[in-house]
């Protein structure tokens, strides 16, 4: 027995806007000037049409969808009374599609790009309209101007070419026209799936208001990771626009060196307020880094490192790493120190994992440690990285006490900022 399925019918917003709505017995009610959709998953549902009377009363009204139905050349409704309409005021999780979407920027979370909306496509199913695609192509723009058919005739006639559709599934669309929308859990879930570097690119492509709205919609961890990938000038604008308590939560999740760089670029007043809101231990570490010029070793280093005594065993060292790994920016090496924190030697994680569990660190460490002083400049540090092929270099004071470590990425952001940030 064959199963009858409802044929798929697609409509575009450009085909709906401006169409007339007639009531019982053909009485004209007005023209559609916008549609209201509820932000449901996976696809928003059109619930009402905003109509403006063609004569007489000019106050727009919202009419439920259904009862209006498409009937060329416009739309009709068999039932019209006050219960079917209401003033044009949005409820929670609703938006005016033309106002919020058409000609506005959206985030394509699949392609990780900011795109411009030229049209919207709906699927008609069981008398409901579901917003399924956003049209970001030139064809959508031609459709709105009424030139789509003319364009197709010209392209096929002269070039034997048909301009393709450029749709983005609503599943991968994040509106940025309204800050309120960006605080929805739906938005957070979509944006958080992107790589922080892609999110940074998106944020940099938006205007100031939209940039802040997108950034503030992210969870704290994602916001911190994204901020580390963002241009320093934009970092400053984003944080300056935030409450100090909220900003401190994000900055605490950043690597210490990145946090210090950011706070160093802020106004003194803003930086001091944020530091007061931060956890005391983290704030003290950041202040230590801020005391050094950015292009010297002390300004490039991070103080989050694994330091262990020489009499510890490999088993104890690995247990220590496991307990602290979550709070570390990176772990390439373990540094062995004496009672006065003087640097004695180092081991890579590879060497630790390959060594017997009972072996003492003093017996297996490499005492030929390459280190730089706190005031070493970036050029000398770069030479050390190149000469010894390290991924991180420890920083020591005049008494050879370890003060921090410079990851290669931190140096790269100074000597080649176009490579280090992206």
304-360 pLDDT, tens digit each: 889 999 999 999 999 999 988 877 777 889 999 999 999 999 999 999 999 999 999
Note the pLDDT of residue 6. 57
Note the pLDDT of residue 151. 86
Fold held by 307-420: CBS-domain (3.10.580)
Choose the weakest-confidence range: 18-32, 136-150, 340-354: 18-32
Question: Mean of the pLDDT values across residues 368-380?
Answer: 91
A 10 A CB-CB count for 339 gives: 6
Query: Is it the case that residue 361 has pLDDT exceeding 70?
Result: yes
DSSP single-letter state for residue 73: T
Identify which of 9-23, 115-129, 341-355, 401-415 has the greatest average pLDDT: 341-355
pLDDT tier at 397 (50, 70, 90 boundaries)? very high
Task: State the Cα–Cα distance between residues 385 and 408, nearest whole angstrom.
Answer: 8
Own/partner pairs, 237-246, CB within 8 angstroms, 24+ separation: 237/208, 237/211, 237/212, 238/203, 238/211, 238/212, 239/266, 239/270, 239/274, 240/266, 240/267, 240/270, 241/212, 242/212, 242/216, 244/270, 244/273, 244/274, 244/276, 244/277, 245/277, 246/216
Residue range 235-254, pLDDT digits in tens:
999 998 889 999 999 999 99
Tokens at 359, concatenated: 């072996």
pTM, two decimal places: 0.61
Note the pLDDT of residue 30. 84
Percent of the chain exceeding pLDDT 90 equals: 29
pLDDT tier at 22 (50, 70, 90 boundaries)? confident
Note the pLDDT of residue 288. 85
Q: How are beta strands 173-175 and 45-52 bridged, if at all?
A: unpaired
Task: State the Cα–Cα distance between residues 326 and 137, nearest whole angstrom.
Answer: 44
Note the pLDDT of residue 344. 95
Report domain extents, the chain.
Answer: 9-97, 176-291, 307-420
Residue range 82-123, pLDDT digits in tens:
566 778 888 888 889 998 889 888 888 777 788 889 999 999
Query: Is it the case that residue 5 has pLDDT exceeding 70?
Result: no
Note the pLDDT of residue 341. 92
More confident residue, 118 or 69: 118
Choose the weakest-confidence range: 117-121, 142-146, 415-419: 415-419
Query: Is it the case that residue 422 has pLDDT exceeding 60?
Result: no
> What's the mean pLDDT when you consider all of the chain?
84
Tell me the CB-side half-sphere exposure of residue 291, using CA atoms within 13 A: 8
Identify which of 35-49, 99-113, 201-215 has the greatest average pLDDT: 35-49
Fold held by 9-97: SH3 type barrels. (2.30.30)
Residue ranges of the alpha helices (H) in 88-178?
97-101, 138-145, 148-159
More confident residue, 1 or 41: 41
Query: Is it the case that residue 49 has pLDDT exceeding 80?
Result: yes
Q: Cα separations (Å) of 295 from 171, 232, 285, 319, 415?
A: 44, 15, 18, 35, 9
Note the pLDDT of residue 177. 58
pLDDT tier at 190 (50, 70, 90 boundaries)? low
List of E strands, 3-111: 9-12, 20-22, 28-38, 45-52, 61-64, 69-71, 74-76, 85-86, 94-96, 105-108
Fold held by 176-291: MgtE N-terminal fold (1.25.60)
Percent of the chain exceeding pLDDT 70 equals: 89
């Amino acid at each position: 027995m064959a199963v009858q399925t409802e044929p798929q019918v697609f409509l575009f917003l450009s085909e709906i806007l401006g169409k007339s709505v007639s009531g019982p017995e053909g009485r004209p009610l007005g023209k559609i000037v916008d549609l209201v959709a509820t932000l449901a998953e996976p696809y928003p549902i059109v619930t009402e049409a905003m109509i403006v009377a063609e004569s007489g009363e000019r106050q727009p009204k919202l009419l439920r969808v259904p009862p209006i139905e498409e009937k060329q050349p416009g739309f009709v409704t068999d039932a019209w009374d006050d219960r079917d309409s209401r003033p044009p005021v949005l409820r929670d999780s609703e938006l005016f599609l033309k106002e919020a979407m058409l000609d506005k920027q959206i985030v394509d979370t699949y392609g990780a790009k900011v795109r411009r909306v030229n049209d919207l496509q709906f699927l008609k199913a069981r008398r409901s309209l579901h917003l399924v695609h956003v049209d970001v192509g030139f064809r959508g723009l031609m459709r709105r101007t009424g030139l789509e058919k003319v364009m197709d005739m010209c392209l096929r006639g002269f070039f034997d070419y048909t301009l393709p559709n450029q749709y983005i599934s609503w599943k991968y669309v994040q509106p940025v026209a309204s800050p309120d929308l960006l605080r929805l859990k739906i938005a957070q879930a979509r944006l958080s799936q992107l790589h922080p570097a892609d999110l940074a690119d998106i944020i940099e492509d938006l205007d100031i208001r939209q940039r802040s709205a997108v950034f503030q919609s992210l969870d704290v961890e994602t916001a911190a990771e994204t901020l580390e990938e963002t241009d320093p000038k934009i970092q400053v604008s984003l944080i300056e626009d935030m409450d100090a308590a909220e900003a401190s939560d994000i900055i605490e999740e950043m690597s210490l060196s990145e946090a210090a760089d950011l706070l160093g670029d802020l106004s003194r007043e803003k930086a001091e307020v944020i530091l007061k809101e931060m956890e005391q231990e983290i704030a003290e570490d950041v202040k230590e880094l801020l005391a050094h010029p950015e292009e010297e070793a002390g300004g490039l280093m991070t103080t989050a490192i694994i330091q262990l005594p020489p009499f510890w065993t490999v088993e104890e060292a690995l247990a220590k790493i496991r307990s602290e790994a979550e709070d570390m920016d990176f772990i390439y090496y373990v540094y062995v120190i004496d009672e006065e924190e003087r640097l004695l030697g180092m081991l890579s994680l590879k060497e630790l994992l390959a060594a017997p569990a009972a072996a003492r660190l003093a017996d297996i460490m490499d005492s030929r440690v390459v280190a730089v002083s706190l005031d070493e400049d970036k050029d000398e540090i770069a030479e050390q990285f190149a000469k010894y092929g390290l991924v991180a270099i420890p920083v020591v004071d005049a008494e050879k006490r370890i003060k921090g470590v410079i990851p290669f990425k931190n140096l790269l952001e100074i000597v080649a900022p176009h490579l280090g940030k992206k």
